[in-house]
Amino acid sequence: MSRTILVLADLRNGAVRNVTFEMLSAAKRLANGGTVIASIISNNGSTIDTAALAHYGADKVLVADDAQFENYVPDAYAAVLDAMIKEVNPNLVLMSHSAIGRDLAPKVAARFAAGQVSDIIDVTEDGGNLVFTRPIYAGKAFTKNTVAGEIVFATVRPNNLTAGEPDVSRSADKEVKVWAELSADSLRTFIKEVVKKSTGGVDLSEAKIIVSGGRGVKSQEGFKPLYDLAEVLGAAVGASRGACDADYCDYALQIGQTGKVVTPDLYFAVGISGAIQHLAGMSNSKVIVAINKDPEAPIFKVADYGIVGDLFDIVPILTEELKKVLAE
Amino acid sequence: MNIFVCLKQTFDTEEKIVVENGQVKEDGVRFVMNPYDEYAVEEAIKLRDANGGSVTVITIGPERAQEALRTALAMGADEAVHITDESLFGDEYTASNVLAAYLKDQAYDIILCGNQAVDDGSGQVAIRVAELLNIPHIGTITKLEVNGTDVVAHRDAEGDLEVVGGKLPILVTAQQGLNDPRYPSLIGIRKANKKPLANPGAGDLNVAGDIAKKSVVLETFLPAAKTGGRILEGDNESRVKELVGLLRTEAKVL
């Protein structure tokens, strides 16, 4: 069956994030000749280069451009997405399972009395039905779900759906307009300030490589060699709960069943013993490297490659070696 | 200040998940209050202690879920509501409609919830409830201040921190770092065990419209087991060289 699918572009600092292309590629496949519509809600919406959205599958791009969209305000974004949905009447709405999508999808789904499946890592078609795969218990198990209804919402975990080869011959119409009148009193929450925090400069949820530290780093300063390694790799820095609880780093970095669940291509677990709670958040990473002094640490049971030894000796050598190799 | 907390009983995060006959096995599993909901309960108690009023905790779930409510009462919550009517069980869509149906008849100033449950991790119910009640929400908060009707919260937005303002009535969802949940006191546990729980059913709640679940689980499965990989031997320099080589040529991730 052919479908109309609306994809909310995931943006960071005015740029389109890769998960958007992953969603568009999936949408193109699932539309079965129907229409794929990309949506942009931004304070620089009109200036965003939308050509790539078409290359990955968008047939049409809807743009909301207003200074009010500089930061995410649920009432503002919901009003726009609501209006876009009413205009194009999609069967499926895809959003990234990131800070905005996680917050916005259930809000708008509730308006449409629609079902939602969160944090999907795959979507296939079976007998005309969409079948969504998602982790439960932070990846200790998975389910395949169908969702009933005229319109279904799904949030997509970055790094899991595959972005197809871009087709540069494709183009899309762009419709820029005011989608909803946003009077000040219609927005019931407002952003007073945004404080950018350091997570190694790369966002954990979308990072291809993550360097994570545990109690073994011993102190806030102990994270320094991990940041150095992450910088060479263009990686994000994460942490186990132990490291966060010990105040070696901010909770924003925590990976685990409480905390963030990540699926990078490469995960360095440094000074992390591998409590089941942490493993739940990272064990579905494609390749895992463990560096730990304790040869009995459970982390070695899930690691593809392990080095038993002192992280303060090994990590700096690794950083230097990578600098050399990656420069070649 | 009338404070409500929606909470859920979940598997202890230390539990190993076993799938049997296509379902996650619950026998012999230790259940706890969802860790994110503990932050919500703690914050609610602190708010009440600072402003007066009462804290009511609500859950939907089978008889065993009573334990999570008792824990919240033992921490210091005043009242508890346990919805055990199985006709009101379903998915996130069902749960949010049921909770909203209950809450719309209550006088609430603020509703607190965990930002997600550690079992299904979908993070939908709380935000849906806010929308159904037509009140604003602030999600994934790590700090909360209420002065009169003014609310200021710190929101964790993927590493960035947003300082968000709003007004009561409002719903907020708790993120790790919001507070350190207290342990129930012995006297609290004793009192909590004697406390009657309200138990509204479908007839009491006046749930409007169709609340049947929309999501159907076709299959539940475990990830492929990891067997443990290769422990590299040798001095540090050679092991590091070997590792980098393997990551490039074998794993192809560099």
* pLDDT tens figures, A50-81: 999 999 999 999 999 999 999 999 999 999 99
Residue contact A140–B176, C-beta within 8 A: no
pLDDT at A201 over 80: no
Residue contact A195–B223, C-beta within 8 A: no
Residues B17 and B53 sit within 8 Å (Cβ to Cβ): no
**Does B164 contact A at CB distance below 8 Å?**
yes
Residue contact A199–B138, C-beta within 8 A: no
* Strand segments (E) across B9-119: 9-11, 19-20, 23-24, 31-33, 54-60, 79-83, 110-114
Q: DSSP code of B198?
A: B
On chain B, the residues whose CB falls within 8 A of the CB of A250 are: 177
CATH of the domain at A13: 3.40.50.620
pLDDT at A205 over 90: no
> B234-238, long-range: CB within 8 Å, 24+ apart, which pairs?
B236/A309, B236/A313, B236/A314, B236/A317, B237/A317
Closest residue of A to B223, CA-based? Answer: A141
Q: Count how many pairs of residues, chain A against chain B, have C-beta atoms within 8 Å.
A: 264
Per-residue model confidence as pLDDT tens digits over A103-146: 999 999 999 999 999 999 999 999 999 999 999 999 999 999 99
Residue A193 in domain: no
**Does B139 contact A at CB distance below 8 Å?**
yes
- Annotated binding residues of A, written as ranges, equal 215, 240-241, 254-258, 271-278, 292
The whole-angstrom separation of Cα B43 and Cα B40 is 5
On chain A, the residues whose CB falls within 8 A of the CB of B96 are: 106, 110
Are residues A52 and A178 located together in one domain of the fold?
yes
Residue A202 in domain: no
Per-residue model confidence as pLDDT tens digits over A87-96: 999 999 999 9
Question: What are the sequence ranges of the domains in chain B?
Answer: 2-193, 227-253
Instruction: Please name the residues between 230 and 249 in chain B that touch chain A, using a CB distance below 8 Å.
Output: 230-232, 236-237, 239-241, 243-244, 246-248
The token duo for B130 is 């806010």
The neighbour count for residue A181, using CB atoms within 10 Å, is 8
Contacts of B27 by beta carbon, 8 Å cutoff, 6+ apart: none
Closest Cβ opposite residue B136 in set A75, A198, A303: A75
**Does B19 contact A at CB distance below 8 Å?**
yes
The whole-angstrom separation of Cα A153 and Cα A114 is 7
pLDDT at B15 over 90: yes
Are residues A106 and A37 located together in one domain of the fold?
yes
Domains contained in chain A, number: 2
Q: Chain B closest CA to A216's CA: distance in Å?
A: 18
The whole-angstrom separation of Cα A316 and Cα A253 is 21
Closest Cβ opposite residue A110 in set B118, B128, B165: B128
CATH of the domain at A271: 3.40.50.1220
Q: Chain A closest CA to B178's CA: distance in Å?
A: 10
The whole-angstrom separation of Cα B254 and Cα B245 is 9
Max CA distance (Å), chain A: 61
Are residues A168 and A307 located together in one domain of the fold?
no
Among A242-251, B84-93, B201-210, where is mean pLDDT lowest? B201-210
- Annotated binding residues of A for FAD, written as ranges, equal 215, 240-241, 254-258, 271-278, 292
Residue A246 in domain: yes
Residue A115 in domain: yes
Across chain B, mean pLDDT equals: 96
Could you tell me the residue range of the domain that residue A323 belongs to? 209-327
- Report the topology of domain B2-193: Rossmann fold (3.40.50)
Residue contact B161–A199, C-beta within 8 A: no
pTM as predicted: 0.94
Are residues A268 and A304 located together in one domain of the fold?
yes
The token duo for B10 is 């979940």
Are residues A36 and A83 located together in one domain of the fold?
yes
Residue A176 in domain: yes
Are residues A224 and A160 located together in one domain of the fold?
no
- What's the pLDDT at A259? 87
Q: Chain A closest CA to B211's CA: distance in Å?
A: 9
**For a pLDDT cut of 90, what percent of chain A falls above it?**
90
Closest residue of A to B12, CA-based? Answer: A277
Are residues A113 and A48 located together in one domain of the fold?
yes
On chain A, the residues whose CB falls within 8 A of the CB of B176 are: 244, 251, 254, 258-259
Among A192-196, B35-39, B115-119, B239-243, where is mean pLDDT lowest? A192-196
Give ipTM to 2 decimals. Answer: 0.95
Are residues A121 and A225 located together in one domain of the fold?
no
Across chain A, mean pLDDT equals: 95
Residue A196 in domain: no
Residues B33 and B139 sit within 8 Å (Cβ to Cβ): no
Are residues A56 and A155 located together in one domain of the fold?
yes
